[in-house]
Amino acid sequence: MKLASSVVLFDHQALRDQFPALKQTIGDHPLCYLDTAATSQKPQVVIDAMNEYYQFNNANVHRAAHQLSTRATQQYEAVRLQVTDFINASQSQEVIFTHGTTESINMVAFGLTSQIKANDVILIDTAAHHANIVPWQELAKRTGAVIKPIPLTADAQLDITAFEQLLLLKPKVVAISHVSNALGTVNPINELVAKAKAVGALTLVDGAQAVAHLSVDVQQIDCDFYVFSGHKMYGPTGVGILYGRYKQLDQLTPMLTGGEMIKTVSFNRTVFGALPNRLEAGTPAIAEVIGLGAAISFLLQLPREQLLAHEQQLMQYLQQQLQKLGDIELYGIAPINVGAVAFNLQGEHHQDVGILLDQQAVAVRCGHHCAMPLMASLNLNGCCRASIGIYTNKQDVDQFIHALNAVKELLL
């Protein structure tokens, strides 16, 4: 299959050149980075933005009268406005900076403790990342709530019929993935949220794997909470976003207290500040937030529709080349998969395959992908995952297939 030339109407090599990590060689091979779903590489503008903060504007935000703090605060809060526009939140107070998707979900699950009672039902999709399972299990331990997994169909898609049956239980919370981190399958998120809302459930969407590939409009999705991480979308590690409807955020019990989130303190009483401060305790990840802002600016300057079409063509090519190779088991393959392909070499341990690929400078992820219930539903102890980003090109896929064929010839 030849990628349609009409798809890439921009200089893709010039885009790729902005990612310094991709220019390295490992041994005698150029780096073939197919682990973007774990963490994306960073463009130079993100690295530069963080360096500039540390070199010239290093100060705490919101707390000092001097110019360094003023500049840092202005940069920090400007990113909140960027995120508001990026996901189409209705107001900037609905955007909370966290350290990542995991912390965002934990904040919601902890914050809902007083609103959940014994025997309340919490629905979670079976393909969820552990970060969207364990915090709800802990909430259930604290409150006596009951976790119900939403099963998958035989082709590893979320079972809509089973979901509708579970909704008859009138769940209090429905926590679902926008895109599976392990399989790349895309859930019909608008439909799922609408069905959950119809029975009065609060909805949380894990968008960690979606925001780098898809345009996200939280008002259109109509969810109560949407969470994602900066490092999955070409920004730095250590920063994430909790979006929530203002009313729902304002009713959360803060998971962390002290510092930034305080309005007044005495030994008789503490009054928390207003949103977003009341959910942002302590010194935030200032440099990382600024880096996230640079990543958003970087993405918004790109022809995103063309890039999505490029990624979709590349995904189809990757799937077809794996099928053509033979002796490859593919999981969750669908026409609209985004970003990732899960596979195994028949009869071989996924870790062995990953190590042998690494010896040829091909970086893939091997293991359970923080989705052990999903692996159990597929009767697997793990698999390999090749995942792409905006910088991935056909040469990466060809290098990967060539390397995997060498592994196959060695092992089979």
Q: Which residues contact 235 (CB under 8 A, 6 or more apart)?
A: 42, 46, 288, 291, 292, 294, 295, 296
Question: Which of left, alpha, beta for 200 (phi over 0: left; psi -120 to 50: alpha)?
Answer: left
Which of 96, 143, 107 minimizes the C-alpha distance to 253? 107
Helix (H) or strand (E) holding 377: helix 372-377
The residue written with tokens 């809509």 in the block is 160
Contact (CB, 8 A) for 279 and 107: yes
* DSSP letter for each residue of 307-330: HHHHHHHHHHHHHHHHHHH-SEEE
Active site residue 370: yes
Choose the catalytic residue: 32, 370, 383, 384.
370
Name the burial class of residue 149, with classes exposed (0-12), middle (13-18) and buried (19+) by CB atoms within 10 angstroms of its CB.
middle
* Contact residues for 178 (Cβ-Cβ < 8 A; gap 6+): 186, 187, 189, 205, 206, 207, 209, 210, 214, 216
CA-to-CA distance for 202 and 122, rounded, in angstroms?
9
The answer to whether residues 357 and 337 touch, using CB atoms and an 8 Å cutoff, is no
Residue 163's φ and ψ, nearest 5 degrees, are -60, -45
Per DSSP bridges, beta strands 240-244 and 262-265 are: unpaired
Element containing residue 149 per DSSP (H, E): strand 146-150
- The packing angle between helices 44-56 and 286-300, to 10°, is 140
Distance CA 400, CA 69 (A): 47
Which amino acid type is present at position 31? L
Q: Mind telling me the catalytic residues? A: 370
